Structure 1
């Protein structure tokens, strides 16, 4: 077999940034890396921001089902699972895409806040309506179109308490939009790294709760033979009770079939979160997601960004700097966020650090399954936190996959969600 020869083209592209103080939204610039595809039309590309699961099926508590089938645009949009909005309806709901209601903008497009009626799709005011977030696709850009369809394809078929809920879409002339309910607490990224009165440091128990929620969402995807491929703190959104939900499915991909060990694809994602073997070969497995989860867990533990050029040499790359301390019970405190002092036991901190190190293993086979990660994190939850988490499931049924329909959106049974625009340029 000929060795894989890849040409990496790295370029920095700055994104427009807007910070909505009350919602905590921040869109970062990042690097885009593209590796020539080996699979023609089935290929994707890679993003960079930066150990783990195998391609085998996970025994998640969520039911395992075949992954969403590959469908044409027409087949996806004819699905009865999502509500079809007219452009006029969305325009009215967002106040004609008011600049005051803009939550953020990036390479994919812009996100606006709006309201619709609880029992209809008609526009409503802020006192009587249900809050929505509308992601509006830029009119130019093939990559944005692909991500838009991927989002509909996956979120239109998969449902879980720890995945964001998509209410519907709009496809009219050149207009392409996605309509979600609103996530009032924004992204995990902002709560970990932003400073200010709106963003208070997350407590130890809340950090574990968020980590567990994200792990459950990943475990469910893997049980459904789906690889997320873009896990990072900015894609983990929080509802008003700090329940974590995975967002932005533009890069999600069907996992390998039983007779295959991996999926060969162009490398896409966020560089500093991507598994090293995936960056090197383009071979994608569920274990690639596990590595990314390890990076996120390390950020949760430390309160540091995965890459921070403002830190001194030797500490700029979080994974490289922290790795020697994670398996040392006497030194692990060096990694922990100083704002957490007094909130945890050394034993619990060491358990989370050890789990993080397993996920970050350079050897794929040594990384745990996400089901195992979930089990470990569940044991670390306090009884009070577990009881509270059970009561905050937003009337959803854990451990079950189901389809959600336009009726769900109209009835208000879909948890609030704040979508973050994709930062991947075409």
Structure 2
């Protein structure tokens, strides 16, 4: 059992315009994310697990994300509002982040990359680091930390998202079948399968080193280790 309430499929279908392409935000490895509007006007991000991947592995990812997010609440973590399991549909409903992900501001068009002040960059890096520290303090390793998984609110508060690969840290052992993104994986994980908190720190550094404008601020912030 989780503390996250359920939501019926009909409400989700109405909120997303029957999962219309116009409301599609991004397609990920195991899911498609849509923008939706619930009755009453609340905007949400609807993460729909791909039906073609409803295997044991797909169910494992879904169940883990619900379980983890139901136990973790922090200003720098994306909030899971509801979940739905009806028929072949496995869906997560998150708070909507108007500024979307940090990918846009690190690897996006020059106009977006240069739109943030130094103070904003510093606070985003600091907030993301605090979110990582909170996860580690609760015994969790994110495992797939990257700019695409750090969302930004309309007030520029960073929120770490996508806990589908998060795993409770036990004796530095890991399930090598879980998915990570190439380029952000720590060398010791690739070479030896050794999972430690430092794997997240490595991914964090790689993510914010993607653009020279972020490197200066990254060096001035204390990243948890």
Q: Which runs of 5+ in 2 are unaligned?
A: none
After TM superposition, give the deviation of residue 198 of structure 1 in Å: 6.0
SS in 2 for 1:84: coil
After TM superposition, give the deviation of residue 146 of structure 1 in Å: 2.0
Q: Does 2:124 correspond to 1:202?
A: no
**Partner of residue 236 from structure 1, selected from 140, 145, 150:** 150
SS in 1 for 2:61: helix
- Structure scoring higher RCO (CA < 8 A, sep ≥ 6) equals 1
**Partner of residue 155 from structure 1, selected from 54, 59, 69:** 69
Q: Does 2:196 correspond to 1:285?
A: yes
Distance 2:64 2:144 in 1: 13
- Write the mapping of 1:408-419 to structure 2, written as runs, cut at 5 A: none
After TM superposition, give the deviation of residue 200 of structure 1 in Å: 4.8
Structure 1's 352 and 249: CA in aligned 2 closer, same or farther, altered over 3 A?
Answer: closer
After TM superposition, give the deviation of residue 199 of structure 1 in Å: 6.1
Q: Is contact 1:232-1:273 (8 Å) kept?
A: yes
Q: Which runs of 5+ in 1 are unaligned?
A: 1-77, 117-122, 304-335, 341-347, 356-371, 376-426
Structure 1's 278 and 196: CA in aligned 2 closer, same or farther, altered over 3 A?
Answer: closer
Q: Is contact 1:192-1:201 (8 Å) kept?
A: no
Q: 1:61-116, CA deviations, whole angstroms, 9 ceiling, x for partnerless residues?
A: xxxxxxxxxxxxxxxxx32x111111111111222222222212233232221112
RMSD (CA atoms): 2.3
Distance 1:157 1:205 in 2: 32
| More helix by percentage | 2
Structure 1's 254 and 184: CA in aligned 2 closer, same or farther, altered over 3 A?
Answer: same
Distance 1:173 1:144 in 2: 14
**Partner of residue 182 from structure 2, selected from 271, 285, 290:** 271
Aligned to 2:29: 107
TM, length-normalised to structure 2: 0.89
- Write the mapping of 1:377-388 to structure 2, written as runs, cut at 5 A: none
Q: Does 2:43 correspond to 1:131?
A: yes
Q: Does 2:76 correspond to 1:166?
A: no
Structure 1's 289 and 199: CA in aligned 2 closer, same or farther, altered over 3 A?
Answer: closer
Distance 1:294 1:199 in 2: 18
After TM superposition, give the deviation of residue 189 of structure 1 in Å: 0.8
After TM superposition, give the deviation of residue 140 of structure 1 in Å: 2.1
Structure 1's 103 and 297: CA in aligned 2 closer, same or farther, altered over 3 A?
Answer: closer
Aligned to 1:181: 95
Q: Is contact 1:109-1:136 (8 Å) kept?
A: yes
Q: Is contact 1:265-1:284 (8 Å) kept?
A: no
Equivalent pairs, count: 222
Q: Does 2:51 correspond to 1:98?
A: no
Structure 1's 238 and 273: CA in aligned 2 closer, same or farther, altered over 3 A?
Answer: same
TM, length-normalised to structure 1: 0.49
Q: Is contact 1:227-1:253 (8 Å) kept?
A: yes
Distance 1:218 1:279 in 2: 21
SS in 2 for 1:153: helix
Larger radius of gyration: 1
Q: Is contact 1:265-1:283 (8 Å) kept?
A: no
Q: 1:341-361, CA deviations, whole angstroms, 9 ceiling, x for partnerless residues?
A: xxxxxxx94x84487xxxxxx
After TM superposition, give the deviation of residue 130 of structure 1 in Å: 0.8
Q: Is contact 2:142-2:167 (8 Å) kept?
A: yes
